[in-house]
A = this chain, B = another copy of it.
Amino acid sequence: MPPRTGVTRDRVVEAAVRVADASGAGALTMRALAEALGVAPMSLYHHVPNKEAILDAAVDAVFAEVDLPVVGAPWRAELRRRAASVRAALVRHPWALALMESRRNPGPATLAHHDAVLGTFRAGGFSLAATAHAYALLDAFVYGFALQEATLAFRDSAGGPGPSGAEGRPDVAAAADGLAEVLGGGAYPHLVEFVGQHALQPGYSFAASFEVGLDLVLDGLERLRARGAG
């Protein structure tokens, strides 16, 4: 059914991102990918050496979506924007984070990304040593936050019109119930307080902590920079 307009490496990667977005990383099989392209499974191997290469390229495609900081512009604003952009990309493509961890071969977009960030730090007055610490801290925060969001996320079904078996269930409720059993006993009092009095309250949003944390991190970087320069 799909285009059939001839498969290319780029089309394979594009389809891989689409399939993973729609149905999760688990659904990203060579067969599913082939079907999405209207082609037999083994045909993919004429454009890509193996699945690993597809995953490498898919991760790089996600990096390519990130809004790069402008080297030389005020570092704090640039890196703030880029941090939000990275997080947004990882929210759009929740499967990417898990893959990044296992990828060993950075693609061109990934390298360009690192280069821009490093350049922004350096142009902003960070020493090499300070840049190392700063980059480690900033990305630890961004990736770690995204990791937590991914862990909290119950989105296992994504509303694609897939022909796969029905999967939509009250997962949230189920999880909450599951916890309720355990929590009832009086163990974990602080957890109960936190969940009951805060996390399950109407206005609560985990995502709101991103801005707060990011600003604290950027404050820390500024002090690190000042310290290094002094």
Residues of A within 8 A of B (CB): 71, 97-98, 100-106, 108, 111-112, 114-116, 118-119, 122, 128-129, 131-133, 136-137, 139-145, 147-148, 150-151, 154, 175, 178-179, 182-183, 187-191, 193-194, 197-199, 204, 206, 209-210, 212-213, 216-217, 219-221, 223-224
Contact A212 B178 (CB under 8 A): no
Contact B142 A182 (CB under 8 A): no
Contact B133 A212 (CB under 8 A): yes
CA distance A175 to B103 in the complex (A): 12
CA distance A179 to B114 in the complex (A): 13
| Least CB distance, A109 to chain B, in whole angstroms | 12
Pick from B100, B111, B148: contact of A151, CB under 8 Å: B100
Query: A111's closest neighbor in chain B, by CB?
Result: B188
